[in-house]
Amino acid sequence: GGAMAAVRDVEIDPEGTFKYILLRLQRPGGGDTRDIVRGTAAAEFHNHIFEKVNPEMEKLGYECKCLGGGKIDHNSKDKKIRVFGLSTGYGKADHSVTVEILKKVYTDYEITWSDDKK
């Protein structure tokens, strides 16, 4: 519905290398699910991102589940995003899913992923 559409697919820092998590939103009791990407250099650990996003989503009436994490290297000058690494706490996100979500927003970017640690 409308509220789910109001949640942005992607919120990441405009530049730099930082941690990210892949989140699944769901209405309590089932129904539509939606995956979103959140990442910021302000988060020292992956759970810091979750702890910030989760209450925001609960207010909108969603259950939030972390599907894993990793890192994003965002080069806005060259219009490139690289997705890699993993989260110690949440495990590795499916970076291929993350890339598909990023492509919806960064339509003119070259976006790649790998299982490299750095």
- Please say if 48 is a catalytic residue: no
Structure tokens at 47: 């759970």
The helix (run of H) or strand (run of E) holding residue 6 is helix 2-6
Q: Is 19 annotated as a binding residue?
A: yes
Candidates 46, 48, 74, 95; catalytic one: 46
CA 49 to chain centre: 9
Q: Which residue has the tokens 């930082």?
A: 18
Q: What is the rounded distance in angstroms from the CA atom of residue 93 to the CA atom of residue 102? A: 14
DSSP letter assigned to residue 89: T
Q: What residues form the annotated binding site?
A: 19
Catalytic machinery residues: 46
Q: What residues form the annotated binding site for substrate?
A: 19
